[in-house]
Amino acid sequence: MPSKPFGKYALVLPGTDHDLPKDIGRIELHSAKAKLLDRIELKGEPEGAVALQKQFTLTASAQSASADPVPLAAFDNQTLIGVDLFDQAEALVTSASDVSPYAAAMQQQVRAVAQYVASGPEARAEVGARLQPIIAQFRHDAVTKSAPYRNHWTGGPRPGTTAPTISFAHR
């Protein structure tokens, strides 16, 4: 179980030394920009989970500044973005550093697919069609197979690995 599974958190730049109130958890970022994903327990009530998710707030401190996010086509939990994502691939890949040891190889694959998608309507349609079953499988696996499930929590390192999978998903 995470040391602080809910509440208030401060996202801070690497090496910064801020005195935080005791009720605020400190999360040190790897760079000046972060990608955030929140997870809400469903427990058979998707509407309640969405309502709770909409209550999340992010507040910037006075000294915070970051680049505007890359514009994307609108999507929601039921209709995840598909082939349109590749229209902004380069901007997305370069918008924030990625500390994963696999990032560079994955970024090259994304660039190759984006180049193919841009090559013509047939290629775009092919990639769009190939993504549909992948997206459906992702939606299923994201909440059932993304990490080990223990004591109603999804997260922690996979057996036999030392790399942590961080998740605050409580089911």
Query: Can you tell me the mean pLDDT for 67-84?
Result: 86
pTM equals 0.56
88's tokens: 């902004």
Question: Bigger pLDDT: 169 or 104?
Answer: 104
Residue 126 has pLDDT above 90, yes or no: yes
- Residue 115 identity: Q
The predicted structure's pLDDT at residue 115: 98
Burial string for 59-70 (b: 16+ CB within 10 Å, else e) reads eeeeeeeeeeee
Average pLDDT over residues 78-100: 88
Q: What is the mean pLDDT of the chain?
A: 81
